[in-house]
Chain A
Amino acid sequence: MRWFFRQRPTAFQPGSIAFRLIVAVLAVELVSSILVVGLSFGYERHSHFHAFDVLMHGHIDSILGAVQDADDSAKNLMLVQADLHLPRDDIYEVYDSNGRMLGRSSNWQGIPPNTPAPSQGPSMQLTVNGRPYRVLRFQGSRIIDVAEPGGGKLRQFTILYGAPTNHVWRAIRGAVEFYAAGSLVVLLITGPLIAWLLHRGLLPLRQLASLAAQVSVDSWQFSPPVSAHSTPELAPLTLALENVLHRLEQSFTQQRTFVSDAAHELKTAVAVIKSSLQLLDMKRRTAAEYQAGLERCLADSHRLEEIVAKMLTLAREENTSAAFGPRPASDLTECLDSAVAQLETFAALRDVKVEVAIAFSGVSLVPLIAEDCSLLLTNLILNALQHSPAETLVEIRLAQKGGNAELRIQDHGDGIDPAALPHVFDRFYRGDPARSRNTGGTGLGLAICKAIAERAGGSITIASQPDPALPNQGTTVTVHLPLASDAETGESALPSA
Chain B
Amino acid sequence: MSPPVSKAIIADDEPALRNYLREHLQQMWPQLQICAEVDNGIEALQALEQHNADVIFLDIRMPGLDGMQVARAYEGNTRIVFVTAFDQYAVEAFEQHAVDYLLKPYTDERLQETIRRLHEIRETRPELAAVETILANKTRQPELPLRWIRVTRGEQVQLINVTDVLLFQSEDKYTSVYCRDAEYLIRTPLKELEQVLDKELFWRVHRSAIVNVARIEKAKRLVDGRYRLSLAGMDEVVMVSRGYGGLFRHM
A and B together in one complex: no
A interface residue numbers (CB < 8 A to B): none
